[in-house]
């Protein structure tokens, strides 16, 4: 019982400022842990929208042919090469009082989740086949644009 009281006392004493010999207060540790759960939830949601020939969500539900899904995936991969270079440049040149990665972690979750929600709520049943293909590809490109900023910022924050 004494150990639990000492533990709680230590947390209260070092909630906003780190303990001697430490660099991070408990408040930041808790924020990082809870934020990590949100990051992983949002990116898991977005990853279900992968454009592969075996993706039953996009293929069977929306009705896009496997060969078209693979072609769309190749287009997204080419787009991703350029986006990776841009993302690296932006990370390296971020000048913020919050550091290199926190601004991206703060703001990229919202567009990641919004693009995922948009993907789900588009009325595909009222669209022509080419319009479905374009809508799915645009949503996928948006998710692939925002999601890596979010996940990499979280991973690199440590």
User: Over the chain, what is the mean pLDDT?
Assistant: 81
Query: Is residue 84 in a domain?
Result: yes
Cα 107 to its chain centre, rounded Å, is 10
Our count of domains for the chain comes to 1
Q: How many residues does the chain have?
A: 158
Is residue 2 included in any domain, yes or no? no
Is residue 1 in a domain?
Answer: no
20 found inside a domain: no
Residues 90-100 pLDDT 10s: 878 878 787 77
Q: What is the DSSP string of 32-56?
A: HHHHHHHHHHHHHHHHTT---TT-H
22: in domain:
no
pTM of full prediction above 0.75: no
Domain annotation covers residue 50: yes
The Cα 9–Cα 27 span in angstroms is 14
Full residue range of the structural domain in which residue 97 is found: 42-157
In a domain, 126, yes or no: yes
What gap in Å lies between CA 19 and CA 111, rounded to an integer?
36
pLDDT band, residue 128 (cuts 50/70/90): very high
């Amino acid at each position: 019982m004494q150990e639990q009281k000492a533990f709680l006392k230590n947390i209260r004493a070092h909630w906003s400022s780190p303990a001697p010999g430490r660099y991070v207060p408990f408040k930041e540790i808790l924020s990082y842990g809870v934020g990590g759960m949100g990051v992983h939830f949002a990116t898991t949601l977005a990853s279900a929208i992968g454009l592969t020939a075996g993706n039953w969500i996009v293929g069977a539900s929306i009705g896009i042919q496997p060969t078209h899904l693979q072609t769309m995936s190749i287009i997204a991969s080419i787009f991703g090469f350029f986006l990776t270079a841009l993302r690296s440049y932006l990370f390296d040149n971020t000048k913020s009082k919050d550091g290199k990665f926190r601004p991206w972690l703060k703001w990229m979750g919202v567009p990641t989740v919004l693009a995922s929600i948009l993907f789900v709520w588009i009325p595909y049943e009222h669209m022509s086949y080419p319009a479905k293909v374009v809508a799915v590809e645009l949503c996928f490109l948006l998710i692939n644009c925002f999601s890596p900023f979010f996940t990499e910022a979280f991973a690199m924050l440590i």
